[in-house]
Amino acid sequence: MMSANLDDLPAAVRYALETTRATTACPFHDGVIIRVGDDAAESHAYERAKRIVRSDGTAFEADALRDEIGRQLKLAADGRCPKCDGTGPAG
Ligand SMILES: [Zn+2]
């Protein structure tokens, strides 16, 4: 089992995106997130994130979730890992 701290908005969104296969982490490059899902996977991730309840019993705000999902998808590599491709920026 994954033991993520889902009280944190970025962590909760990342968890939702990965468990719905909207994104996946590169198995070879720690910290590289790849956008692999379609629109359906991404809206599924949003629905899942909305159902995450923090340890204080509250859920995340819908607007905050939507913003964070958009931010993480923008940061994610599109379709494949740029480091595996060898065409991405160094570092
Ligand atoms: Zn890689």
Per-residue pLDDT at 87: 59
**CATH number assigned to the domain comprising residue 45:** 1.10.10.1920
Distance 62 CA to ligand 1 centre (A): 32
Residue 84 lies in a domain: no
Running along the chain, 91 residues long, what does each successive block of 10 average in pLDDT? Answer: 74 96 95 95 97 95 97 96 75 51
Distance 31 CA to ligand 1 centre (A): 9
Distance 86 CA to ligand 1 centre (A): 9
23 forms beta bridges with 35
Per-residue pLDDT at 86: 74
Domain that holds residue 38: 9-78
Per-residue pLDDT at 1: 39
Residue 67 lies in a domain: yes
Per-residue pLDDT at 89: 56
Distance 70 CA to ligand 1 centre (A): 22
Residue 1 lies in a domain: no
Per-residue pLDDT at 9: 96
Beta-carbon contacts of residue 46 (< 8 Å; ≥ 6 apart): 16, 65, 66, 69
Distance 28 CA to ligand 1 centre (A): 5
CA dist 88 and 91 (Å) reads 9
Residue 90 lies in a domain: no
